[in-house]
Amino acid sequence: MKEALAGRRRSLHGHWSSRTAFILAVTGSAVGLGNIWKFPYVAGINGGGAFVLVYLGCVLAVGLPIMMAEILIGRRGRRNPVATMALLGDEEGSSRHWRLLGAAGVATAFLILSFYSVIAGWSMAYIFAGARGGFTGGDATLINGLFAQLQGSWRMTGLWHTFFMGLTVVVVARGVRDGLERAVQILMPALVGLLLLLLGYSIVQGAFLEGLRFLFEPKFDALTADGVLMALG
């Protein structure tokens, strides 16, 4: 009976047009800047391949079950997190205070957005600076100075943060299919293309084999308790 009710329940926020679009969106929410610029050096200094094995274990043991639970709860409730948890609590004859768990999820997402939007704003600034040739011929010291200059200017940080948040509002306001789905169908292939370009550049210009050994060679003696906690989250 409950499954039948959930099947007839219509989402208030729209539906994805295909599984591919949904998978792209989930991948986009899971893969962030940290996976690109932070993960390699954190893994390398915390045991390399040993850290990667622990990380994959955490993904399978913790991340995957949580993701599956979120999807199942969302499919059954088809409402926002707070309303969904309250609704499911009622249907199961449990307390409506379960809605507090949904509220905690919304608050967590808001806190993540509060700092991630600043980092995304910096990234937007870098895109435009790179397009203007601002990094051409610069060494690490010069580029680090440019970042310090950007980071130290609340006006520039606020400007780029506002620009990024404006783009986000436009995408979200257009809904699931016309907003989020169209965005991920463009941005996720673009991300894959950029990663392939970075890979090709590192093979040609960088110490590629040394980088592979640094990242993937197992060094279990370098894996500490702090490293395990980093792999966990």
Say how many C-beta atoms besides its own lie within 10 A of residue 126's C-beta: 17
Check residue 189 and give its pLDDT.
92
| pLDDT tens per residue across span 172-182 | 999 888 999 99
Alpha carbon distance 151, 59 (integer Å): 33
Query: Given a cut of 90, is residue 96 above it in pLDDT?
Result: no
Cα dihedral value 13, 18, 23, 29, nearest 10: -30
pLDDT band at 171 (very low <50, low <70, confident <90, very high): very high
What's the rounded mean pLDDT across residues 165-173?
Answer: 94
| Closest of 137, 168, 134 to residue 150, by C-alpha | 134
Check residue 118 and give its pLDDT.
93
- pTM of the entire structure? 0.79
50 backbone dihedrals φ, ψ, rounded to 5°:
-65, -45
What's the rounded mean pLDDT across residues 215-233?
Answer: 90
pLDDT band at 107 (very low <50, low <70, confident <90, very high): very high
Hey, what amino acid is at 72? L
Instruction: Report the share of the chain in percent with pLDDT over 90.
Output: 44
> From its phi and psi, is residue 131 left (phi > 0), alpha (psi between -120 and 50) or beta?
alpha
For residue 224, what is the DSSP state? -
Query: Given a cut of 60, is residue 3 above it in pLDDT?
Result: no
CB 23 within 8 A of CB 192: no
Of 5 and 183, the one with more pLDDT: 183
pLDDT band at 232 (very low <50, low <70, confident <90, very high): confident
Alpha carbon distance 86, 60 (integer Å): 29
The average confidence (pLDDT) of the chain is: 88
137 backbone dihedrals φ, ψ, rounded to 5°:
75, 0
Query: Given a cut of 60, is residue 2 above it in pLDDT?
Result: no
Residue written as token pair 């783009």: 167
| pLDDT tens per residue across span 109-153 | 999 899 899 999 999 999 888 888 888 887 888 888 888 999 889
Instruction: Report the share of the chain in percent with pLDDT over 70.
Output: 95
Query: Given a cut of 70, is residue 216 above it in pLDDT?
Result: yes
Query: Given a cut of 60, is residue 1 above it in pLDDT?
Result: no
What's the rounded mean pLDDT across residues 25-47?
Answer: 85
